[in-house]
Amino acid sequence: MNRALRIIFSRYGIVVIILVLVLGVIALANRRQDTPLDGTNGADGAEGEATSEAVTADDGFATDECEEDGCFTDEELPQEAVDRAVEFAEAWLNPNGYGSQGWLDSIRPLLTDDTAALMEGVDPETVPATEVAGEAVPDGSKVAIPLDTGTLTLTMVEVGGGDWLVSAIDWEQS
C-alpha cells in the first residue's frame, strides 16, 4: 500500500492524474450530440447542416404576432403591406441622420408594440446598410428587401382596419 501511494503521489503519478483529468474534461466537452447547433439532427448523430432552425423557427429578435387573421401564410401579401415594408426599410436606413430616439420615433409607427419595445436603445449607427438596392419580394407573410449590403426580411401583420405593421426584423449579410 505504501508503495502504491508513493507512486501515485510522485512527480509522475501527479502528471498522470492531471492528464487523466484533462482528457476527461475534453471527452465530456465533446459529448454535445443533443445541442441545437452542433451540426447533427438529433441523438442519432446523423450529420446535417447546423442552423438556427434547430433552436427555433425565429431568430429571437422579434416574434411573429399571428392572431386570428393577422398572418398570411399561403397567400401573398397585398401591395399595401409590401409598400409599408419598403417604407419601414427606408426609415430603418436612417437617411435623415437621426439620433437613437429620433430614429426610433421615425420607425415606431411602422412597428408592432412588441417589436418597437425590442428596438428601444438600438443605435441607428449599427444599421448595416445605406440604401435600398432592388424591388421588394413578398413571400407569404414576409417581405424580402434587397439592400446594398444584404437582405432585410420583414414579417408583416395586419392590425385593425387594414393597417400593416412590421412584427419581426431579420437581416442577412450578403
User: What's the grid cell of residue 17?
Assistant: 492524474
- Could you tell me the strand order of the sheet in which 163-173 lies? 137-139, 142-147, 150-159, 163-173
- Please check whether residue 160 lies inside any domain of the structure: yes
Whole-number pLDDT of residue 161: 79
- Please check whether residue 21 lies inside any domain of the structure: no
What is the rounded distance in angstroms from the CA atom of residue 167 to the CA atom of residue 70? Answer: 10
Number of domains in the chain: 1
65 CB contacts (<8 Å, ≥6 apart)?
A: 71, 112, 114, 157, 167
Torsion of CA 67, 68, 73, 75, to 10 degrees: -140
Whole-number pLDDT of residue 47: 47
Whole-number pLDDT of residue 158: 92
- DSSP string for residues in 13-77: HHHHHHHHHHHHHHHHHH--TTSTTSSBSSTT--B----GGGT-SS-SSS-----TT---SSSPP
- Please check whether residue 36 lies inside any domain of the structure: no
How confident is residue 62, by pLDDT bands cut at 50, 70 and 90?
A: very low
- Please check whether residue 97 lies inside any domain of the structure: yes
Whole-number pLDDT of residue 42: 46
What is the rounded distance in angstroms from the CA atom of residue 135 to the CA atom of residue 132? Answer: 8
Per-residue pLDDT of 141-171, as tens digits, reads 999 999 999 999 999 999 987 899 999 999 9
87 CB contacts (<8 Å, ≥6 apart)?
A: 110
- Please check whether residue 1 lies inside any domain of the structure: no
Per-residue pLDDT of 2-38, as tens digits, reads 887 787 788 888 888 999 999 888 887 776 544 444 4
What is the rounded distance in angstroms from the CA atom of residue 87 to the CA atom of residue 109? Answer: 11
Model's pTM, two decimal places?
Answer: 0.59
- Please check whether residue 9 lies inside any domain of the structure: no
Domain encompassing residue 74? 62-173
- Please check whether residue 156 lies inside any domain of the structure: yes
- Please check whether residue 50 lies inside any domain of the structure: no
Whole-number pLDDT of residue 74: 55
CATH number, domain containing residue 158: 3.10.450
Q: Average per-residue pLDDT in the chain?
A: 80
